Amino acid sequence: MITDYHVHLETGPYTMQWLKQYVEAAQKQGVTDLGFSEHGYRFKQSKEILWNSWIEKRQTEDIEDYVNLILKAKKQGLPVKLGIEMDFIPGKEEEIEEFLNPYPWDYVIGSVHWLGDWGFDIIERREGWKNKNVMKVYEEYFYIIKQLLDSQQFDIVGHIDVIKVLGHQPEKKDQDLLEELYDELIPHIKDSGITVEMSTAGLRKPVQELYPSRLLMEKLRSHGIPMMINSDAHRPEDVGRDYDKGIAYLKQYDIGEISTFENRKRKIVPLG
């Protein structure tokens, strides 16, 4: 089994024709388990969870249109799953639950992209990194990741160290502090029962690295944390992209099994 559950339709319309381009791309790349996970902030119904000037222009869709498209594809026999990628915003747990509850998700990805009103991974907002202590930013980010995990609201944690996406990483003198952060993170991952995504998306970003980092991968593997492989594709041609590197990366850590989901129930299956 080869998964790709972190796939966005948002660069095109919510039509069967557009969706089928992703299905065809998945088949060409050998992806056997394809799931769509549109960003929750795209939907007008999510305004109570997350809204700011950057999102305002993008919060244009109706969640019913998205869900109905995926359900229609399923009904037609297309091998797709219904997911969503939700931004975790501390203090908005109740609103997230109310937003998610009405729909028959196969899985929900939880991610952190915002530190307050700062979208740290947005290219046009990269100036926000200027004059910041990188290690302090990492500490703030992983503090929120721990809250995401403790909320027990998600099946998968997306690109767990995406904080490095624009290439900002702690200095060598801070490596011990970074390792401490990861050591503190592991019990929260274990207690949450969540699956950690290994994502190839970082290879297409300024950081030029897979997620998670090697140091974090070592810790995840040594604690037997369930994993899966995803691409974070925003267009058909990125479905399953760089999976040769991603699968090899997992196998370097003797990870031969991955998680799949249906109706928010996890199943562990052989990789490949």
Residue 4 neighbours by CB under 8 Å, 6+ apart: 26, 29, 31, 33, 34, 35, 229, 230, 231, 233, 239, 240
Confidence band of 58 (pLDDT split at 50, 70, 90) = very high
Q: Residues 75-115: pLDDT tens digits?
A: 999 999 999 999 999 999 999 999 999 999 999 999 999 99
Report the predicted TM-score, pTM, of the whole model to 2 decimal places. 0.98
- The CATH code of the domain that includes 93 is 3.20.20.140
Confidence band of 126 (pLDDT split at 50, 70, 90) = very high
Q: Residues 177-212: pLDDT tens digits?
A: 999 999 999 999 999 999 999 999 999 999 999 999
Q: Tell me what pLDDT residue 269 has.
A: 98
Q: Residues 74-83: pLDDT tens digits?
A: 999 999 999 9
What is the torsional sign of CA 252, 213, 193, 272?
negative
What is the torsional sign of CA 158, 40, 169, 4?
positive
DSSP symbol at 261: E
Q: Residues 206-258: pLDDT tens digits?
A: 999 999 999 999 999 999 999 999 999 999 999 999 999 999 999 999 999 99
Average pLDDT, the chain: 97
Containing structural domain, residue 263 = 3-270
- In the block, residue with structure tokens 């302090």: 136
d(CA 112, CA 86): 8
The total number of structural domains in the chain stands at 1
